[in-house]
Amino acid sequence: MLEKLGLIPISDIIKNKSIQNFLFLAIIQSSNVLISIISMPLLIQGIGVDQFGLVNLALSIIILLNILVGFGYNLSAPRAVAVNQNDKTALSHLVSNIFSAKILLASFATVLILIGVFGLNLFKEYQLILVYSVLLLFSEATLPLWFFQGMEKMKLISIANIFSKLLFLMGIVLFIHSPELSKWVNFMMGFTGLIINLFLLAYIHTFLEIRFYRPQFSAIWASLKENILFFFSNLTGYISVNGGLIIFSFFAGAETLGMYSLAERVVMVLRLFPAMIIQAIFPNASKLYKNNEDSFYRFLKLVYIRVLLVGALIATLTYLGAPWIIRVLSRSELAESVTYLQLLSPILFLSCLNIPNITMMLVADLKQLLFKASWMMCLYMIIVTSILTYLYQGVGLCLGILSTEIVAYIICMLLLYKRNRKLFYGFYS
């Protein structure tokens, strides 16, 4: 499909659903990246490197719990919405049940945090920051991205996301000027997101004529059981990719944590690229796999080659530009952060290696295989990264994270070869 792009008009290219999905997802992620880049120097100047590290540590825990709140609906819900696009009643019940399930999960996650802080006295250095961050759980619960993906109406939510991030940035500029105010950083992110989400829900109800019914707990329970493997796959995948900061918190002080957190924030921004590619090509890849497997393999190979080239280029530029990137973001010379960023710079290219394996597992509905790969990768990451961090501190952590990407690629290849050789040979032959 993509090999023909040079032969057809630009207007036709833009009408292509895969291209549209990628463009709007790119807009959403680009706005997140841009606001993250702009906010980093403002936060470091306002609250200091040590508090910046603690804010990011609290955010990492919240994002981990957001995997619970999402519970795999990001993968299953768009498909369900797309199937019921023309049935307003069925769509209304579906939407009501999913939002209800996510709000219940957000409430449960909030209770877990409160028990951990006030009951077990955990998270001692950043308890208040974490408690004030729980609003992010409800922001995630009310985010209707999955709905607009299924309805193929991504333009509105792209604009809403940009507006939300701009409000958050304005809040930082106006209110965050001292370390004592660090507890409000994640709170403002959650508050602005929640407000915008409520406006989106009003739009869904008023203009798209979607009614909100009482939740059907039997349907919610059935959807949770159906999504359990997606949930565990997302959870283990998140720990494998983003758990480094949490592990490092057991071995480093707040200032060192802040140094690493600055480099990690840059790398995690880059790490969004392969996930965006998978999300963008998934609908079209699914159709091709169902209708014409040869076309599916050609499409995936062409995407893979181009993504690897782009990934290698960005990784190289990140390594070479690390001193300048850190200086711009922190407005100071932080040699330790530069070292971490240079060590982590290959992660974008390494994470791109696994794009075809993940895509094939998704289009062939190999949920159990994806889950198995995820927990094996997670187990490797926790053990190896903990040992290397204990021995070599931040440098060991970086090496552990890089090796995890390589091991993840090998694991997925071996599992595909063992369980579905038709898929394996179809792509790799």
Is 38 within 8 Å of 169 (Cβ atoms)?
yes
Dig out the tokens for 376 from the structure: 């094996």
**CA of residue 316 relative to chain centroid, distance:** 23
The whole-chain average pLDDT of the chain stands at 86
Name every residue whose Cβ is closer than 8 Å to that of residue 69 and which is 6 or more positions away in sequence: 102, 105, 106, 109, 137, 140, 141
- 236 within domain boundaries: no
**Whole-number pLDDT of residue 15:** 55
Where a domain ends, among 184, 202, 227?
227
Residue 260 sits in the same domain as residue 358: yes
Looking at the fold, whether 125 and 38 belong to one and the same domain comes out as yes
Residues 184 and 282 in one domain: no
Write down which residue in 195, 227, 259 finishes a domain: 227
User: Per-residue DSSP letters for 337-371?
Assistant: HHHHHHHHTTHHHHHHTTHHHHHHHHHTT-HHHHH
**Residues 17, 1: Cα–Cα separation, whole Å:** 12
Name the packing angle between helices 355-363 and 367-419 (round to 10°). Answer: 110
Whether 235 maps to a domain, the answer reads no
Look at residue 1 and tell me if it is in a domain: no
Q: For a pLDDT cut of 90, what percent of the chain falls above it?
A: 45
Both 217 and 266 in one domain: the answer is no
Angle made by CA atoms 123, 131, 194, in degrees to the nearest 5: 140
Residue 134 pLDDT: 96
Question: Domain boundary at 179, 195, 227, which?
Answer: 227
Residues 221 and 247 occupy one common structural domain: no
- Domain match, 121 and 194 both: yes
| Cβ–Cβ < 8 Å for 71, 205 | no
Q: CB atoms < 10 A from the CB of 15, how many? A: 11
What's the pTM? 0.73
Within-domain flag for 238: no
On whether residue 232 sits in a domain, the answer given is: no
Residue 252 and residue 211 share a domain: no
User: Nearest to residue 372, comparing CAs of 426, 401, 408, 403?
Assistant: 408
- Sequence-distant (6+) residues with CB within 8 A of 322 are 338, 341, 342, 345
Number of structural domains (the chain) is 2
Tell me the pLDDT tens digit for each residue of 48-100. Answer: 888 988 898 898 899 889 999 999 888 788 878 877 888 899 999 999 999 99
pLDDT the model gives residue 6: 43
Q: Are residues 327 and 278 in the same domain?
A: yes
Q: CA 398 to CA 329: how far, in whole Å?
A: 20
Identify which has the larger pLDDT, 281 or 427. Answer: 427
> Do 139 and 251 lie in a common domain?
no
Answer yes or no: are the C-beta atoms of 286 and 83 closer than 8 Å: no
Q: How far apart are the first and last CA of the chain?
A: 20
Quick: pLDDT tens for 124-164. 888 999 999 999 999 999 999 889 887 878 788 888 988 89
**Token pair 């999955």 in the structure block, residue:** 146
Residue 314 lies in domain:
243-429
pLDDT tens, residue by residue, 160-204 = 988 898 999 899 989 988 889 999 999 999 999 999 999 999 999
Q: Map tokens 């961090």 to a residue.
A: 389
Same domain, 57 and 189: yes
Q: What is the pLDDT of residue 410?
A: 95
Residue 330 lies in a domain: yes
pLDDT in tens, 5-55: 444 444 554 455 556 666 676 677 667 767 777 887 888 888 988 898 889
Confirm whether 407 is domain-assigned: yes
Lookup result for tokens 């407005």: 331
Percent of the chain with pLDDT over 70: 93
- In sequence order, the 6+-apart residues with CB closer than 8 A to the CB of 261 are 52, 53, 56, 57, 245
pLDDT one-digit tens code per residue, 199-236:
999 999 999 889 999 988 998 999 999 888 878 878 88
Flag whether 30 is in a domain. yes
* Domain co-membership, 284 together with 413: yes
Average pLDDT over residues 233-255: 77
**Looking at the structure, do residues 264 and 187 belong to the same domain, yes or no?**
no
